[in-house]
Amino acid sequence: MQTIRSLLVVIEPQLMESFSLKRAKEIANSTKAHLHLLICDKENDHTALLSVLQNSLSTEAYSVTTNQTWHESQHATIIREQQAKGCALVIKQHVPDSILKKLLLTPEDWKLLRDCPCPVLMVKHARGWNGGVVLAAVDVGNSDEEHMVLHKTIIDQGFRVASLAHGQLHVVSAHPAPMLAAVDAVYPVDTQYEASYRAACKEFQDEYEIDDSRLHINEGPADIIIQQVARKLDAVVTVIGTVARTGLPGALIGNTAEVVIDKLECDILVLKPDDIIQHLEQKAAKA
């Protein structure tokens, strides 16, 4: 996070307060990153607003540029601008769509998470990150190469965000199968899967120096477990990743990431592995 030099901040004039701009300023205060404000607008009706914001931010000594433009849809506009300006992080306030609307149309925020070639920070609240818990969501039991690379990306970014926020990193992983571990020592670990999972957890902790108090392993669906742990810890931001296969007609984001953006009360930083980013950059270049 500290290495990010340019932030694309989506400004939505219809919202009473811009959480995305508030978070961008907080990040820029620590990173000295440039702020590029974007309004996705077909009519170019917000020149005055952008001028006011730019002047105010410049007075506060932020480096800032602005634009209002439109390309086919909101998510397409954001991606086009991100590619054109070389922004390394997109920051957008998330407002959940109604259940009926989600049944009829794929939410724009889901499309942004699926197709954006850089990390996306979905902002859910106005409170600051300073001193808060940063929660990294991983799948400890999954040892395929793509997930291992993604784990490293998530943990590395989690530590960077925690450092920026002067907070503490915690890690959550959902166990998909019934846990047969004993509450009492009289019930030994007697399945190969259980033993393998526990070994993977120990290896993960040793590699990333995560002590027991900061590793939260619970049985159940990932979206539910992440939500429960984030609420228990009062996390300010959750870092989550997605693995998709290149060669598909559009990269697919894991269902967990799509579901939790509505359920979590904290901000969500969504990451992708390098091969998916390259695939999405090629897709964006052809658009």
Structure token pair of residue 81 = 């601008």
Does residue 236 share a domain with residue 169? yes
* pLDDT score, position 265: 92
Count of beta carbons in the 10 Å neighbourhood of residue 45: 11
Distances (CA, A) of 148 to 153, 155, 226: 9, 11, 19
* pLDDT score, position 101: 64
In a domain, 174, yes or no: yes
Does residue 67 share a domain with residue 176? no
pLDDT bucket at 218, cuts 50 / 70 / 90: confident
CATH code at position 256: 3.40.50.12370
pLDDT in tens, 141-187: 777 777 788 889 999 999 999 999 999 999 998 876 554 444 444 44
In a domain, 105, yes or no: no
Query: CA quadruple 235, 252, 258, 140: dihedral positive or negative?
Result: negative
In a domain, 104, yes or no: no
Does residue 67 share a domain with residue 198? no
Provide the strand spans (E) within the chain.
6-10, 34-40, 64-69, 89-93, 120-123, 133-137, 168-175, 215-219, 237-241, 267-271
Alpha-carbon distance 51 to 86, whole Å?
22
Q: Are 253 and 261 in contact (CB under 8 A)?
A: no
In a domain, 103, yes or no: no
Strand order of the β-sheet with 267-271 is 64-69, 34-40, 6-10, 89-93, 120-123, 267-271, 237-241, 133-137, 168-175, 215-219
Q: Are 112 and 79 in contact (CB under 8 A)?
A: yes
Does residue 163 share a domain with residue 287? yes
* pLDDT score, position 146: 75
pLDDT in tens, 97-142: 666 666 666 788 988 988 999 999 999 999 999 999 999 999 887 7
Does residue 73 share a domain with residue 172? no
Segment 75-99 mean pLDDT: 91
Q: Pick from 71, 93, 115: which residue ends a domain?
A: 93
Does residue 149 share a domain with residue 42? no
Does residue 146 share a domain with residue 23? no
* pLDDT score, position 182: 42
Does residue 130 share a domain with residue 170? yes
Closest CA to 123 of 271, 253, 258, 238: 238
Alpha-carbon distance 239 to 270, whole Å?
6
Does residue 5 share a domain with residue 58? yes
* pLDDT score, position 158: 95
Q: Pick from 93, 115, 144: which residue ends a domain?
A: 93
* pLDDT score, position 156: 94
pTM of the model: 0.88
- Interacting residues of 275 by C-beta distance below 8 A, sequence separation 6+: 146, 246
pLDDT in tens, 227-256: 999 999 999 999 998 765 444 433 334 567
Alpha-carbon distance 249 to 87, whole Å?
25
In a domain, 109, yes or no: no
Distances (CA, A) of 265 to 146, 209, 261: 28, 27, 8
Alpha-carbon distance 92 to 243, whole Å?
22
In a domain, 272, yes or no: yes
Does residue 150 share a domain with residue 76? no
Does residue 266 share a domain with residue 128? yes
For the chain, how far is it from start to end, CA to CA, in angstroms? 28
Alpha helices in 139-188 (DSSP H): 145-165
Alpha-carbon distance 39 to 54, whole Å?
13
CATH code at position 23: 3.40.50.620
pLDDT bucket at 192, cuts 50 / 70 / 90: low
Domain that holds residue 2: 1-93
Q: Are 246 and 279 in contact (CB under 8 A)?
A: yes
In a domain, 112, yes or no: no
Q: Pick from 52, 75, 93: which residue ends a domain?
A: 93
Does residue 286 share a domain with residue 200? yes
* pLDDT score, position 99: 65
How much of the chain, in percent, has pLDDT values that exceed 70?
A: 84
Angle between helical axes of 222-233 and 255-263 (0-180°, round to 10): 40
Domain count, the chain: 2
In a domain, 114, yes or no: no
